[in-house]
């Protein structure tokens, strides 16, 4: 709700404001939705001046329509597909993580979500030489494991450079996460070229750890903050052409029902792609468990595809 004040736009003078306030028009919405002829008569203001102010206010506060052809041109040049470090996962995601979208990895504790996230961070930093922002809310980020992965792919000097491109921020509640995202947004919009080079991906492990404590109490407050976080993630992804990866827990309705993502119905609309990560006991003589990823939701591929992940 934006309140009208002098200087908000040219033509909106203090005396005009006084007259408008006297007839009950206080916010931009009030002004735009009122009948200007009526207002001109009641407040003895010039109709033309009011129309001009209305036009400027609308131009300032409403969103502009974009032509589909122009948007397509823009997307063709700004969308990138980022490799996840696992070729089978790339195949599952139709060649990799798309920028401009939120991808969700869901799985039970211990199923390997953090491993997949580390793999993604390592892969993007190493092969694309792009910066990675890793928001860790579970404390599961281990630099040594990341080193191990990088060492398996390359030698020393590159490994150091790759590590430097990954920025880890530890956040323990939703407000810290929102402020970390706000800081990112400020940096991106000012295009400050400091230690933070070109950023293409944000990995959040995990989003359920900071959001679950909010839900289930005074319902609508928690849900509103969760939806604000969702909106922030989607806006970042679209406006700055980033790929956003989040991890989430799973629940099920009863012991026989299929697994579904945690955080409820409202959150389920947020990611455009959802992958279920499970670790299954191998049936052959190897003692190792295998990790399986299945596609639960995708805007491009049919769901239900399953692949075996080749990360540790």
Partner 1 sequence: KLLARLEGRSSLKDLEPYLFAEEGSPVHGHVIEFHGPEGTGKTEMLYHLVARCILPKSGGGLETEVMFIDTDYHFDMLRLVTILESRLVQRTEEMIKQCLGRLFLVNCNSSTQLLLTLYSLENMFCTHPSLCLLILDSISSFYWIDRSNGGESLNLQEMNLKKCANFLEKLVREHHLTLFATTQTLMQRSTNSAENPFPLKPQHETDIDYRPYLCKSWQQMVTHRIFFSKQCNSGSSTAFTVVSCYLKRNHVVKLSFSVAECGVQF
Work out which of 6, 22, 75, 192 binds partner 1, going by CB under 8 A: 75
Residues that contact partner 1, how many (by CB under 8 A):
50
Q: Decide: is 227 part of the binding site for partner 1 (CB under 8 A).
A: yes
Q: Counting beta carbons within 10 angstroms of the beta carbon of residue 128, is it exposed (0 to 12), middle (13 to 18) or buried (19 or more)? A: middle
221's tokens: 């407050």
Tell the residue number behind the tokens 């390592």, with chain if given.
Answer: 122
CB 188 within 8 A of CB 240: yes
Least distance to partner 1 from the beta carbon of 167, Å? Answer: 24
- CB of 59 or CB of 143, closer to partner 1: 59
- 194-207 burial code (b ≥16 CB/10 A, e <16): eeeeebbbbbbbbb
Instruction: Measure the CA–CA gap between 218 and 213, rounded to whole angstroms.
Output: 11
What's the angle, vertex CA 38, arms to CA 33 and CA 40, rounded to 5?
100
CB 116 within 8 A of CB 131: no
Q: Decide: is 81 part of the binding site for partner 1 (CB under 8 A).
A: no
CB 274 within 8 A of CB 106: yes
Contacts (CB under 8 A) with partner 1, residues 19-48: 28-29, 32-33
Q: Decide: is 122 part of the binding site for partner 1 (CB under 8 A).
A: no
Least distance to partner 1 from the beta carbon of 211, Å? Answer: 13
Work out which of 254, 269, 281, 284 binds partner 1, going by CB under 8 A: 269
Binding range to partner 1, per CB under 8 A, among 105-113, 168-176, 265-273, 285-293: 265-273
Binding range to partner 1, per CB under 8 A, among 60-68, 125-133, 207-215, 277-285: 60-68
Q: Decide: is 226 part of the binding site for partner 1 (CB under 8 A).
A: yes
Q: Name, in order, each residue with C-beta under 8 angstroms of 41's C-beta and a sequence gap of 6 or more.
A: none
Work out which of 138, 212, 272, 294 binds partner 1, going by CB under 8 A: 272
Say whether 119 sits in a helix, a strand or coil: helix
CB 134 within 8 A of CB 121: yes
Q: Decide: is 304 part of the binding site for partner 1 (CB under 8 A).
A: yes
Work out which of 22, 58, 143, 192 binds partner 1, going by CB under 8 A: 58
Note the residues at the interface with partner 1 (CB under 8 A): 1-2, 28-29, 32-33, 57-59, 61-69, 71-72, 75, 79, 101, 220-221, 223-228, 230-231, 234-235, 237-238, 258, 265-266, 268-270, 272, 297, 299-300, 302-304
């Amino acid at each position: 709700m934006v309140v009208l004040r002098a200087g908000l736009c040219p033509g909106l003078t203090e005396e005009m404001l006084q007259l408008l306030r006297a007839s009950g028009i206080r916010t931009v919405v009030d002004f735009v939705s009122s009948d200007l002829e009526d207002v001109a008569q009641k407040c003895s203001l010039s109709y033309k001046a009011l129309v001009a102010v209305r036009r400027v206010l609308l131009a300032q506060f409403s969103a502009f329509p974009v032509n589909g052809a122009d948007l397509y041109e823009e997307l063709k040049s700004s969308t990138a597909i980022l490799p996840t470090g696992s070729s089978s996962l790339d195949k599952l995601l139709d060649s990799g993580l798309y920028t401009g979208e939120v991808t969700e990895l869901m799985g039970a504790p211990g199923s390997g979500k953090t491993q997949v996230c580390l793999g993604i961070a390592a892969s993007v930093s190493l092969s694309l030489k792009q910066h990675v922002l890793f928001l860790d809310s579970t404390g599961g980020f281990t630099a040594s494991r990341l080193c191990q992965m990088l060492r398996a792919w390359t030698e020393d000097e590159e490994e150091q450079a790759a590590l430097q491109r990954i920025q880890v921020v530890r956040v323990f509640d939703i407000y810290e996460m929102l402020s970390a995202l706000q800081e990112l947004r400020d940096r991106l919009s000012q295009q400050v070229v400091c230690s933070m080079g070109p950023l293409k991906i944000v990995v959040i492990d995990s989003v359920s750890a900071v959001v679950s404590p909010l839900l289930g109490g005074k319902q609508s407050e928690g849900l509103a903050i969760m939806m604000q976080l969702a909106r922030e993630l989607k806006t970042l992804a679209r406006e700055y052409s980033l790929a956003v990866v989040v991890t989430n827990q799973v629940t099920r309705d009863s012991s026989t029902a299929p697994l579904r993502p945690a955080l409820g119905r409202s959150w389920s609309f947020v990611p455009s792609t959802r992958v279920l990560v499970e670790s299954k006991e191998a049936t052959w003589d190897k003692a190792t468990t295998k990790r399986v990823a299945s596609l639960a939701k995708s805007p491009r591929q049919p769901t239900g595809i399953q692949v075996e992940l080749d990360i540790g």
